[in-house]
Structure 1
Amino acid sequence: MSTTAWLFFLPACFAINLAPGPNNLLSINVAARHGFMTAFLGGTGRLVAFAAMIALAATGLAVVLHASEWFLAIKLAGAAYLIWLAIQLWRSDAPAVDTTQEQLASLARIARQEFLVAAGNPKAILVFTAFLPQFVDIGRPMLPQFAALGMSFLVLECVAIALYSWAGMHLGKWLVRARVRRWFNRCCGAFLAAIGLSFLLVRRA
């Protein structure tokens, strides 16, 4: 991979990182309810899932996964999980989070949610099987190139997590009233449900 290819990769990749997908929407909701650090640290769950996908792509297993019936299973599981999250948000009473213990206790759960949402996103599989290889020079060793592209993706994803968490934190200032928080959760839930249903429309190339 040449320096020129890498420089073309960075803005294209960052556009994907900043796309308002289910994980970024989750970061906004978490930051609005629990604060910036909880949302940002919870976002490490998606980084673990994405790192695993990049490793699969680098070893060629992702191509096999993409071409097999496992793709359908992941698509259905991802859609079901997002719709389940949407229902939980819709039915939430949106209690105020006002103690540090509650925020710390929720961090593991948030990271797990981030991981499952990312792992169940079939569009992520398409990104790592169709997008990243476009920037790989087949005339050079591939693993170092995938490592460089993968690390770049994860760093840019951290920036996206920070930006969405920051946006959610400022939204939280408007969510003092329980009624407003409830409607905010319902809006997020509706968007998550729509994204979950869109997963069902993703087809293999």
Structure 2
Amino acid sequence: MQLETWLLFIGTTFFVSIAPGPNNLLAMFNGARHGVSAAAVGGIGRLIAFALMITVTAMGLGIVLGASEIAFGIIKWGGAIYLVYLGLKSWFAKVSEGKDNGSDGTAEALMPYPGAMTLARTEFFTAIGNPKAILFFTALFPQFLAPDVAYGGQFAVMGATFIALEGTVLLGYGLIGGQVKGVIRSARHMRWLNRISGSLLMAAGVLLAFTSRSRSAV
């Protein structure tokens, strides 16, 4: 892959990565609840999901998904239901009263850390449940392929670049959330954070449910 083509690819995918989609919202709210490290740990699940999607695209299976209304619908509705479930879970999440357990009312005391596996699993299923991502890779990556160079190496470069950009962006959203974490000092603050998070995730689920294969946004 030529340097000019690679730089153009970086510019294109960066603006896609920074869009406030469900995974970026999760990274931000994980940062707000548990800190930047939690956002980074949860983001591992997202990166694994995208790596799998890029592999599927490189194998040509993304074209099959794009041509199958049934396969697209199954993944789409599964993802939409999962996002609504996450939204409801966030909305009704139990929040401890800091003063009741002798704590100072910080975010860590108000909502305990759920564990690395839980955070990563949530981001993984959120990413993998969006069939538009595979269609995005299927539509975008071939635009940067040089016909006279082996496809495998080019896909590997683009895939690694996209994963690196996603990792940078999720840390950025985690840092934004981390700024919010410092002002959460009461159960009331945490409940409002959970309700905002829940509402946005449910809205994302509804939008995914009404999306179609013809739309190009991820």
Question: Mean Cα displacement is larger for which, 32-41 or 47-56?
Answer: 32-41
* Partner SS, residue 75 of structure 2: helix
Larger Rg: 2
Shift >3 Å, 4+ stretches: none
- Work out whether 1:88 is the aligned partner of 2:89: yes
* Partner SS, residue 29 of structure 1: helix
Matched residues in 1 for 2:179 and 2:46: separation?
22
- What residue identity is the alignment partner of 1:168? G
Question: Could you tell me how far 1:63 is from its partner in structure 2?
Answer: 1.1
Query: Which residue is 1:61 aligned to?
Result: 61
Query: Which residue is 2:80 aligned to?
Result: 79
Matched residues in 2 for 1:8 and 1:94: separation?
46
List per-residue Cα deviations over 1:94-120 (Å, max 9, x = no partner): 344249xx53x5111010000000000
Matched residues in 2 for 1:78 and 1:113: separation?
11
- What residue identity is the alignment partner of 1:190? S
Out of 177, 188, 194, the position equivalent to 2:186 is: 177
Question: Could you tell me how far 1:66 is from its partner in structure 2?
Answer: 2.1
Question: Mean Cα displacement is larger for which, 117-126 or 88-97?
Answer: 88-97
List per-residue Cα deviations over 1:137-174 (Å, max 9, x = no partner): 23321111110000000000110111011111111112
Note the residue ranges of structure 1 that are not aligned, 5 or more in a row.
Answer: none
Question: Could you tell me how far 1:186 is from its partner in structure 2?
Answer: 0.7
Query: Which residue is 2:103 aligned to?
Result: none
- What residue identity is the alignment partner of 1:27? A
Residues 122 and 199 in structure 1, CA contact (< 8 A), matched pair in contact too? no
1:1-205 to structure 2, matched below 5 A, reads 1-68=1-68, 69-95=70-96, 96-98=107-109, 102-103=112-113, 106-205=115-214
Scaled by the length of structure 2, what TM-score is found? 0.88
- What residue identity is the alignment partner of 1:90? W
Question: Could you tell me how far 1:182 is from its partner in structure 2?
Answer: 0.6
Note the residue ranges of structure 2 that are not aligned, 5 or more in a row.
Answer: 97-106
Residues 44 and 111 in structure 1, CA contact (< 8 A), matched pair in contact too? yes
Give the paired residue count: 202
- What residue identity is the alignment partner of 2:75? I
Matched residues in 2 for 1:171 and 1:161: separation?
16
Residues 75 and 120 in structure 1, CA contact (< 8 A), matched pair in contact too? yes
Scaled by the length of structure 1, what TM-score is found? 0.93
Task: Tell me the percent identity.
Answer: 41
Supply the RMSD in Å over aligned alpha carbons.
1.5
Matched residues in 2 for 1:50 and 1:111: separation?
13
Matched residues in 2 for 1:123 and 1:147: separation?
21
Matched residues in 2 for 1:64 and 1:123: separation?
13
Question: Mean Cα displacement is larger for which, 151-160 or 30-39?
Answer: 30-39
Question: Could you tell me how far 1:5 is from its partner in structure 2?
Answer: 1.3
